[in-house]
Chain A
Amino acid sequence: MSPSSTQEREALQSVTQSGYKWGFETDIEMEFAPQGLSEEIIRLISAKKGDPDWLLAWRLEAFAAWRKMEEPHWGLLHYPPIDYQALRYYAAPKRKPGPKSLDEVDPKLLETYAKLGIPLKEQAVLAGVAAETEAPAQIAVDAVFDSVSVATTFRQRLADAGVIFCSISEAIREHPDLVRRYLGSVVPAGDNYFAALNAAVFTDGSFVFVPRGVRCPMELSTYFRINARNTGQFERTLIVAEPGAQVSYLEGCTAPQRDENQLHAAVVELIAEEDASIKYSTVQNWYPGDAEGKGGVYNFVTKRGDCRGARAKISWTQVETGSAITWKYPSCLLRGEGSVGEFYSVAVTTNHQQADTGTKMIHIGANTTSTIVSKGISAGFSNNTYRGQVKVMPRAHNAHNHTQCDSLLIGDKCGAHTVPYIESRNATARLEHEATTSKIADDQLFYCRQRGLTEEDAVNLIVNGFCKEVLKELPMEFAVEAQKLLAVSLEGSVG
């Protein structure tokens, strides 16, 4: 290596070591539940949230199911056993009910939003002050701080269009019938170990309801933040698109930098009725742990969309750069005739991160189609697995799936794995699957270097090209963000 590139490397390393810039912790007065998990804790959470009786019953049922289940270990993931009794299942910023002006809002909370760089011109709004301005921003934000949603912006403008966008606790209070009708209808309380845990203890999340024929006038976004120590974050998101409705939703996540691991077990349920379309994008940037693999978020998430009506469409796009452990398989149940499922994913792992992620496309109805494009990038000592299932049920005549999974290896200490499950029970279905694994070709690098790009820039360029098919699926504002995130994630991993 030439001296100049050594210098470059040092410069880059200093950047890398500054690493995770979202790793700060907000010192804010919090309200906690005691450590551990029991029926009493669930009753306590339920009382804090002011749950209706049916919801408490549902939580208890989930808890009973969870206690009988075993933690799944089929993923290509290695981590020490999680002590579920050492966690706190409820943590909320202490605040007086309904602040009326900015002065009443904890300034630390506002500071946090500023640091997170959420487009918070509407910080006042987000903090719960009812000042919905005519701001030109096109994105409505719901922010979830540890376990509770702190505020939602642009409520009024959405309400004018008939769209409900609020925290799920608020939805339970204001629209109990809607929530009761849909909650758990895609991911039942006892669906799997982590989903059952979530159902028992979830404290907040977002709720979106787009009525018949309405095209949601702006992008919706939720910002998740784990802050307090030894807490788990268990949010639950429910999005319902009535016949002909359309909505695009984006979630972002960060967490403070800590030596111990934090648990995140979320559930997302999407329901698309006839001709409805839901686009769900995730930029997941939970704290991944330090260069030695210490700390980081354990991200065990169940995401599932249900295309209930004919020609419904659900599209998942994810850019996964964070978390020490990622266990996540956004799925589509393609029930409606001609319904469409899509999954576009970029998963980047560096240092000691481990990701086991992919999708499930279950073709139930006739003429259903699905597309899977997965790009995995492994660097450092990380392991990155694509695990995906495509299942064609006997009645899914003329179903069609195309899957493409590409893995890129950067360095010789990492691993890239592909584990597809392809099950066809209908002769008229057409299933295509392609997977490749390679490294960045020397000639590509040479070509870029020859034209004056540094090695780091060359790698970024090539990686961005490798991920382009996925990044172009993101809403524009976030595509730029995601590209930067990729660059930051891979800093220092070349050479």
Chain B
Amino acid sequence: MSTQPLQALAGKFADAYAARAADPARALAAERFRAEGLPTPRVEAWHYTPLAALADVALAAPARDPAVLAARIPDLGVPRLVFGNGRYRADLSTPPADLAVRTGAPAWGVLPEGLQHHLVALNTMFAEDGAEIVVPPGTDAGVLMLVHLATGGASHPRHAVRLGANARLTLVEIALGEGAAFHNPVITFAVGEGATVVHTVLQEESAEAIHLATVFAEVAKGATYDSFLLTLGGRLARREMHTRLAGPGAAAHLNAAQLLGGTQHADFTTDVVHASANATSRQTVKNVLAGHARGVFQGRILVERDAQKTDGYQMNQGLLLSPTAELDVKPGLEIYADDVKCSHGTAIGEIDPEQLFYLRSRGIPEGEARAMLVRAFIGEALDGIAFAPVRAAMEERIGIWWEAQQAS
């Protein structure tokens, strides 16, 4: 059975935990993890993303100090909190002067039913550090970077972000790495009434890395959680977004673009719960797949009984650039209220030969024409990014990715 190495790995995690000092705060997570282990493809939510790759990564101690990667952090001209292999690095950070940020211990955050997720339980067992970011009511905290640098081993950072009423924050999360590292962050957002969080993520781990992130967002009345993920890195990557629209008029945007080549596997999984009336959710997900890459998108919109006047929309588009790429999509609507407007759409295909012909007939060489069409395809997802420097940094990365694909 292919699941055996995974069970063995889960056993190793359990043993490593047992060797630590007893900690009542983590005991429940450990109990869960011992019972459930790591998810096999037989677990419905993990059907398309086998974790077998995690079992073959030798989680050796990091070879180098993560500081060597600091030069690769894009300069966005804003304060930054930098973590190296799961630990806060004051020497690499420039914390914001006017914002309450606490580091040095895991920031647990509020986790409704979080431990039922295998990897959240694992994170809870081993989290050593994290950032707790609190934005007081009515404050615009501007832009803050949250960076993780990985050079090996397993990191389980645990971050929490809390916004008071009508507060505002743009959080740019960046994950960079080298070698075979396992990065398993958990971030919780509590977005107060009328507050707005913009959460922009650039995931550019190494081609051997495993990146499994879980994000929880609880969005209050009239508040907005607006996120965008660009996945470029990782041998195996998955980001699970659990968003609960808890108050009337709450809004969530969960957008993503996954650009993959080689034998990369990346999974974007969203779960949006409309728990209150008049809430809105929007998702635009783009996959561009080259080589033998495999992209996965799973999205569920759950509309609870009282969430009348819900407006939910999910759009997923996939572009397959090679005959060996694979895209698996599982959108889902689960609706218990009757006065709702919910829809989802999926379109999967290759570059439209007619569009290519159109450009070529106007004298544009094929390579350039293809690049143009791919950029236009991803462009729609990037359009929502308001903070120009991060958008520019992402566009630059996309350009580099495209060139690398052309060369390979």
Q: Which residues of B contact A436 (CB under 8 A)?
A: 342-343
Residue on B nearest A430 in the bound complex, by CB: B349
Q: Which residues of B contact A394 (CB under 8 A)?
A: 323-324
Q: Which residues of B contact A421 (CB under 8 A)?
A: 328-330
Q: Which residues of A contact B343 (CB under 8 A)?
A: 434-437
B171, CB-defined interface residue at 8 Å: no
Q: Which residues of B contact A418 (CB under 8 A)?
A: 331-333, 344
Contacting pair B328 A407 (CB below 8 A): no
Q: Which residues of A contact B44 (CB under 8 A)?
A: 74
A485, CB-defined interface residue at 8 Å: no
Contacting pair B330 A420 (CB below 8 A): yes
A28, CB-defined interface residue at 8 Å: no
Contacting pair A437 B333 (CB below 8 A): yes
Q: Which residues of B contact A448 (CB under 8 A)?
A: none
Beyond A412-B305, A437-B335, whether A427 also contacts B320 by CB under 8 A is: yes
Residue on B nearest A436 in the bound complex, by CB: B343
Q: Which residues of A contact B347 (CB under 8 A)?
A: 430-433
Contacting pair B340 A427 (CB below 8 A): no
Residue on B nearest A418 in the bound complex, by CB: B333
Q: How far is the CA of A15 from the CA of B331 in the complex (A)?
A: 40
Q: How far is the CA of A360 from the CA of B111 in the complex (A)?
A: 37
Q: Which residues of A contact B320 (CB under 8 A)?
A: 424, 426-427, 429
Q: Which residues of A contact B308 (CB under 8 A)?
A: 412
Q: Mark B296-323, 1 if CB is under 8 A from A, else 0.
A: 0000000001001000000000101111
Beyond A429-B349, A432-B346, whether A417 also contacts B338 by CB under 8 A is: no
Interface size class, chain B: 35 or more
B167, CB-defined interface residue at 8 Å: no
Chain B CB count within 10 A is highest, among A407, A418, A438, for: A418
Q: Which residues of B contact A77 (CB under 8 A)?
A: none
Q: Which residues of B contact A76 (CB under 8 A)?
A: 334
Beyond A412-B305, A428-B323, whether A439 also contacts B350 by CB under 8 A is: no
A176, CB-defined interface residue at 8 Å: no
A410, CB-defined interface residue at 8 Å: yes
Q: How far is the CB of A329 from chain B (nearest CB, A)?
A: 15
Q: Mark A304-332, 1 if CB is under 8 A from B, else 0.
A: 00000000000000000000000000000
B325, CB-defined interface residue at 8 Å: yes
Please pick, from A423, A431, A437, the residue contacting B342 in the complex, using a CB distance under 8 A: A437
Contacting pair A427 B328 (CB below 8 A): no
A295, CB-defined interface residue at 8 Å: no
Contacting pair B346 A422 (CB below 8 A): yes
Residue on B nearest A397 in the bound complex, by CB: B323
Contacting pair A424 B335 (CB below 8 A): no
Contacting pair A425 B326 (CB below 8 A): yes
Beyond A74-B44, A437-B342, A438-B340, whether A428 also contacts B350 by CB under 8 A is: yes
A409, CB-defined interface residue at 8 Å: yes
Beyond A420-B346, A422-B330, A430-B349, whether A412 also contacts B323 by CB under 8 A is: no
A373, CB-defined interface residue at 8 Å: no
B345, CB-defined interface residue at 8 Å: yes
Interface size class, chain A: 35 or more
Q: Which residues of B contact A417 (CB under 8 A)?
A: 332-335
Q: Which residues of A contact B323 (CB under 8 A)?
A: 394, 426-428
Residue on A nearest B336 in the bound complex, by CB: A415
Q: How far is the CA of A334 from the CA of B315 in the complex (A)?
A: 27
Q: Which residues of A contact B146 (CB under 8 A)?
A: none
Q: Which residues of A contact B333 (CB under 8 A)?
A: 407, 416-418, 435, 437
B337, CB-defined interface residue at 8 Å: yes
Q: Which residues of A contact B324 (CB under 8 A)?
A: 394
Q: How far is the CA of A437 from the CA of B330 in the complex (A)?
A: 17
Q: Mark B347-379, 1 if CB is under 8 A from A, else 0.
A: 111100000000000000000000000000000
Q: Which residues of A contact B330 (CB under 8 A)?
A: 419-422
A184, CB-defined interface residue at 8 Å: no
Q: How far is the CB of B1 from chain A (nearest CB, A)?
A: 16
Q: How far is the CB of A160 from chain B (nearest CB, A)?
A: 49
A150-183 at interface with B (beta carbon < 8 Å)? none
Q: How far is the CA of A426 from the CA of B328 in the complex (A)?
A: 11
Q: Which residues of B contact A23 (CB under 8 A)?
A: none
Q: How far is the CB of B47 from chain A (nearest CB, A)?
A: 8
Q: How far is the CA of A370 from the CA of B10 in the complex (A)?
A: 42
Beyond A432-B347, A437-B335, whether A424 also contacts B327 by CB under 8 A is: yes
Residue on A nearest B298 in the bound complex, by CB: A421
Q: Which residues of A contact B327 (CB under 8 A)?
A: 422-424
Q: Which residues of A contact B322 (CB under 8 A)?
A: 427
Which residues of B does A touch, CB under 8 Å? 44, 305, 308, 318, 320-350
Known: A407-B335, A412-B337. 17 other contacts (CB 8 A): A76-B334, A411-B338, A413-B305, A416-B333, A422-B327, A422-B329, A422-B330, A423-B327, A427-B325, A429-B320, A430-B347, A430-B348, A431-B349, A437-B333, A437-B342, A438-B341, A438-B342
Q: List 15 A-B contacts (CB under 8 A).
A: A76-B334, A409-B338, A417-B332, A418-B331, A418-B344, A419-B332, A420-B331, A421-B328, A425-B326, A426-B320, A428-B349, A433-B346, A436-B342, A437-B333, A437-B342
The 6 closest A-B pairs by CB, nearest first: A427-B320, A433-B346, A409-B338, A422-B329, A436-B343, A431-B348
